[in-house]
Structure 1
Amino acid sequence: MCDTPAERELAEELAGLRPELTSGYLAALPGARATVLARLWRGLVHEPLPWAAARARGSDGISIRLTDGRRLHGPPSDPWATGTAVADVELDGVPYRHPALLMAALHVPGGAPFAAELDHSVASLALSRTARPPAGPPTEPWEWEQQSPDGHPYHPTCRSRPGFSAAEQLAYAPEHRPVVGLRLAPVTGATVRGPWPPQWQDGDTVLLPVHPWQAEHVLGGRHVLPGPPAHPLLSLRTLALDHRLHVKTALSTRLTSQVRDISAYSVDHALATSELAARVADRLGGRLHITRTLAAAGAGTPDLAAVLRESPYVHAGTDEQVIPVAELSGHLASHSPHERLARITDFARLALGVCLDLLDLGVALEAHGQNLLAVVDREGRPRRLVYRDLADIRISPARLVRHGFPAPPMTGRLLDDDPAVLRRKVLGCLIAGALGPLAGSTAELGALLDATTRDLPPTPDLLALRTEELPVKALTLMRLSAEGDHWALLPNPVTTRQD
């Protein structure tokens, strides 16, 4: 029943901890393997892997010839499809049903640690799928962030949580809907930006909110105090303290692609970035709200820092809800196919217009399904957008000045005037992280982009969106190389549709 070390480890933990979940976990493993294998196969087919010499499509699927002469063969792969499953992929005629075993058998650089992550992704995904379904529509705003068990729709390590036991996943992961008791770490001489809450100060000592996993596994013997209860959100390390305040904590483990700590650079520039982004967004006439960074503090190391943010929920008016775009498809599931398409088209037109207008002004948002939220009315129609987490946006000083804004009051990695870098940030996140999953296939995405961009202002960025290959993060290559971002260029579904 359990094929790999991570699967067996979680099964053994569940048997002692929550035996009533064991049968559901075991039953979920085959589906979890097929889901993660589909996402891995997508990467093998569509990303610029240095050891993939040639790819050929035939009537029976896709073949990949490796540089050492071996051959991979699997089913057709639509890079924009979601909810797919792959039963097996053959390597020199030997079928592999588990993505970790396939990756281990490839013997490519970086393959061994990536195989371990894939193993953990499968096991954790199966555990996530044991979460009981919600009893009804959300009654608290953060419950929208706790609906789906499956994580990133294209990422092969969508549920990899290295270092998290079964007990810790059940206690901290949003899909299990726990209440998490934060810790408070006393820090004397902390770097503080913005007005730190008075209840978290004691003279020269600042109390930093700490995730309990971080307190136990990373901070070791550091003295911590009991902190407030909070509700985990889509990002797991960001939690809602109440309806108005969210806290982003440092979590020094690799979730999907990145280690989720908080750099000193982010602490230093958090408020200035927030103020700049909000000022530029004001030019959009109320179509976009930026969640304000209220304060940030750190001990000088990336494993002990926190950012306090305004909750996106404060931007909901009467009879409105604020829903992360990653959960928008589930919200629209009860609508008729015609209504659902209309709502998705309205959202895409709004999101593309907002993100391209803001890009033209000089701010490139990382607008994927977790950071971008839609304000919807009672019929599910999108009215406005909310954006949160400014830690990895890009800012173009040249574009800002061209539009009458002062030069940004910061230096470093957030600043970039290269159009290709700026477009990658916006298009790679908005299309691959939001619109692609909503469309669900290349054909539907092409139709959606074509219909919603025809009447937008004809900027060079829009021309690139409609005519050039689309940049997406090469998620598999990134995990194999472990050296920052890598990109793949996919055929543009708009031009493909018009051929």
Structure 2
Amino acid sequence: MHRSPTAEAEIADELVTLRPDLAGRYAAELPGARAAVLTRLWRALTHEPLPWVERREPAGEGRLLRLRDGRRLYGPAPDPYATAGYVTAVRLDGAAYEDPARLMADLQVPHGADLACELGHSVASLALSRAGQPAGGQGTPVRDWEWEQRVVDGHPYHPNCRSRPGFSVAEQLAYAPEHRPGVELGLLPVPAAECLVTGEWPRSLRDGGRVVLPVHPWQAAHVLKRSCAETLAAHPLMSLRTLAVPDGPHVKTALSARLTSSVRDISVGSVRMAATLSDFAEQLASRTGGLLHVTRTLGAATTGSPDLAAVLRESPQVYAGPGERVVPVAALGLTGLARSPAWLAGFARLALTVGLRLLELGVALEAHGQNLLVVLSPEGEALRLVYRDLADIRVGPARLVRHGIALPELSGRILTDDVTALRRKLFGSLVAGSLAATAGSGPALAAALETAAADLPPTPDLPALLAEPVPAKALTLMRLSPGHSGDIWTELPRPGALPPAPVELIRPQMP
């Protein structure tokens, strides 16, 4: 078996000094972490339009990939909707690989060396995340941020699910949500004349003629190179850069680190549109008959630089009634509810009903497991949905006009009348993301969709949802395409259906 010890050894060495109590558990978690990342990578290798894969075809009980250079890669029969780490090894020209970083390095494809490094970080950080969980469990979450911090493995399908280059072990333990830290956000005063503010920036974050911006401590240390005299206690959420203030709002901070796919920022344009987009989304949500709430953007501010900006949002918890829980879809696996086919079908029905209604009106949500939350009754019934973070939705002006809805002052990539782009945004995040990860496998997802289908609203987009292949972001190809901006898409076989054999390569579909 081949292994790349670099990232794994670096974390192991840091643990010896920093947290020797975790060293043994970290080593024990490494094989499972390798399998989890390798499973995500195998999904990409078997389903993304990678230009160096010539053909894919069944071979015995598995799948054979014929590479353009003549080599052959063999692994288990793929389930693109599976979330368990079922791929423990693949074979490249007969040599077995259990380490995804070593496999990517030895494939020797363009930009593969950089991705191999990131995969090594992903494995090592995932093992650290798993090692840091309490041995006896943590009980039932009570606060909204406690649910977020139970999501240990990160993105269910991205091979870089836990890649955190630039974060030391000490910083991961201090800032990563799955390690359950309290984080002191820095408070940085900025002259109001130098700051663009939209919405209602709270009095508590103003100081005379200055606007006080919350700053992530990693950003303050590594990017801004300055310290903050005053701080604000908070708890990190799944995205790491967004934190919950106890009994207060959620604070989205600027964090110029590469997490999973890209360096995320808070652009000037997003700050300028924040209040308008929030009001618009609230208006659209009111047309769902109470099935959807959108967390309001309370205020947004920027100095004109993506390195220093912040957005304040409502906590989703404000939409919970007495005895109800608001749970991120990414955390639903912790509840055990999805093990019931009836519950899973009911949740699929709710989520697809809301998504299709909004899509018909002209709004495609990026409804993945981090942005989408579900309100559960005390008995666990999925009652309604909560959506947060409007930065990546898509709005179709022509659809709005057909339904007599005024288009607000929005601009940029958020606007499109491309039907394919709108459907990809919703179906790729909701079906190939939230519902698939909640179901945990293709067969379970297929059963839930089949049961829910009869009760879905007959919108113009329903036939595409029920009959066409499922769009999904080609996450690995995107990481191997540094010169390309925007999303690259692929198509997954419909849940429960076997792809034709041999599978011809689907070439990259650029937006």
1:250 aligns with 2:254: yes
Separation in 2, partners of 1:428, 1:371: 13
Matched residue, 2:9: 8
Task: Indicate if the aligned counterparts of 1:261 and 1:302 stay in contact, CA closer than 8 A.
Answer: yes
Structure 1: runs of 5 or more not aligned: none
Provide runs of 4+ in structure 1 moved above 3 Å: 494-497
| Closer/same/farther in 2, CA of residues 183 and 319 from structure 1, 3 Å limit | same
Matched residue, 2:448: 448
Matched residue, 1:135: 138
Shift of 1:405: 1.0
Matched residue, 2:159: 156
Shift of 1:2: 8.0
**For structure 1, which segment, 446-455 or 1-10, has the greater mean C-alpha deviation from structure 2 after superposition?**
1-10
Matched residue SS, 1:318: coil
Task: Indicate if the aligned counterparts of 2:341 and 2:447 stay in contact, CA closer than 8 A.
Answer: no
Separation in 1, partners of 2:248, 2:352: 28
1:207 aligns with 2:212: yes
Matched residue SS, 1:367: coil
Matched residue SS, 1:186: strand
Matched residue, 2:41: 40
Q: Report matched runs for 1:90-109 at 5 Å.
A: 90-109=91-110
Counterpart among 179, 182, 195 of residue 182 in structure 2: 179
Task: Indicate if the aligned counterparts of 1:34 and 1:97 stay in contact, CA closer than 8 A.
Answer: yes
| Closer/same/farther in 2, CA of residues 112 and 495 from structure 1, 3 Å limit | closer
Once the two structures are superposed, what CA deviation does each residue of 1:69-96 show, in whole Å capped at 9, x if it has no partner? 1111111111011112322211121111
Matched residue, 1:356: 356
Separation in 2, partners of 1:281, 1:135: 35
Counterpart among 194, 200, 203 of residue 195 in structure 1: 200
Matched residue SS, 1:230: strand
Counterpart among 322, 327, 333 of residue 323 in structure 1: 327
Task: Indicate if the aligned counterparts of 1:131 and 1:149 stay in contact, CA closer than 8 A.
Answer: no
**For structure 1, which segment, 321-330 or 451-460, has the greater mean C-alpha deviation from structure 2 after superposition?**
451-460
How well do the aligned residues superpose, as a CA RMSD in angstroms?
1.6
Q: Of the two structures, which has the highest relative contact order with CA contacts closer than 8 Å and spacing of 6 or more? A: 2
Task: Indicate if the aligned counterparts of 1:323 and 1:374 stay in contact, CA closer than 8 A.
Answer: yes
2:288 partner amino acid: L
1:488 aligns with 2:490: yes
**For structure 1, which segment, 94-103 or 135-144, has the greater mean C-alpha deviation from structure 2 after superposition?**
135-144
Matched residue, 1:435: 435
| Closer/same/farther in 2, CA of residues 345 and 111 from structure 1, 3 Å limit | same
Separation in 1, partners of 2:13, 2:229: 32
Once the two structures are superposed, what CA deviation does each residue of 1:334-390 show, in whole Å capped at 9, x if it has no partner? x8x5xx222222111100000100110111100011100000011110111000000
Task: Indicate if the aligned counterparts of 2:149 and 2:237 stay in contact, CA closer than 8 A.
Answer: yes
Task: Indicate if the aligned counterparts of 1:368 and 1:429 stay in contact, CA closer than 8 A.
Answer: yes
Task: Indicate if the aligned counterparts of 1:234 and 1:370 stay in contact, CA closer than 8 A.
Answer: yes
Once the two structures are superposed, what CA deviation does each residue of 1:472-499 show, in whole Å capped at 9, x if it has no partner? 01111111113331111112227769xx
Equivalent residue pairs, number? 492
**For structure 1, which segment, 422-431 or 63-72, has the greater mean C-alpha deviation from structure 2 after superposition?**
63-72
2:341 partner amino acid: L
Task: Indicate if the aligned counterparts of 2:364 and 2:426 stay in contact, CA closer than 8 A.
Answer: yes
Counterpart among 309, 312, 333 of residue 308 in structure 1: 312
Structure 2: runs of 5 or more not aligned: 500-511
Matched residue, 2:235: 231
Separation in 2, partners of 1:135, 1:424: 37
2:379 partner amino acid: E
Give me the identity figure in percent: 59
1:31 partner amino acid: G
TM-score, structure 2 as length reference = 0.93
Matched residue, 1:266: 270
Once the two structures are superposed, what CA deviation does each residue of 1:171-206 show, in whole Å capped at 9, x if it has no partner? 111111111000112222111111212222223321
Separation in 2, partners of 1:301, 1:70: 47
Task: Indicate if the aligned counterparts of 1:467 and 1:494 stay in contact, CA closer than 8 A.
Answer: no
Matched residue, 1:401: 401
Once the two structures are superposed, what CA deviation does each residue of 1:249-299 show, in whole Å capped at 9, x if it has no partner? 111111111212211111111111111111011111111000000000011
Matched residue, 1:370: 370
Matched residue, 1:218: 223
| Closer/same/farther in 2, CA of residues 131 and 407 from structure 1, 3 Å limit | same
Task: Indicate if the aligned counterparts of 2:44 and 2:474 stay in contact, CA closer than 8 A.
Answer: yes
Separation in 1, partners of 2:299, 2:437: 33
Separation in 1, partners of 2:448, 2:101: 35
Matched residue SS, 2:131: coil
**For structure 1, which segment, 340-349 or 310-319, has the greater mean C-alpha deviation from structure 2 after superposition?**
340-349
**For structure 1, which segment, 80-89 or 373-382, has the greater mean C-alpha deviation from structure 2 after superposition?**
80-89
Matched residue SS, 2:118: helix
2:204 partner amino acid: Q
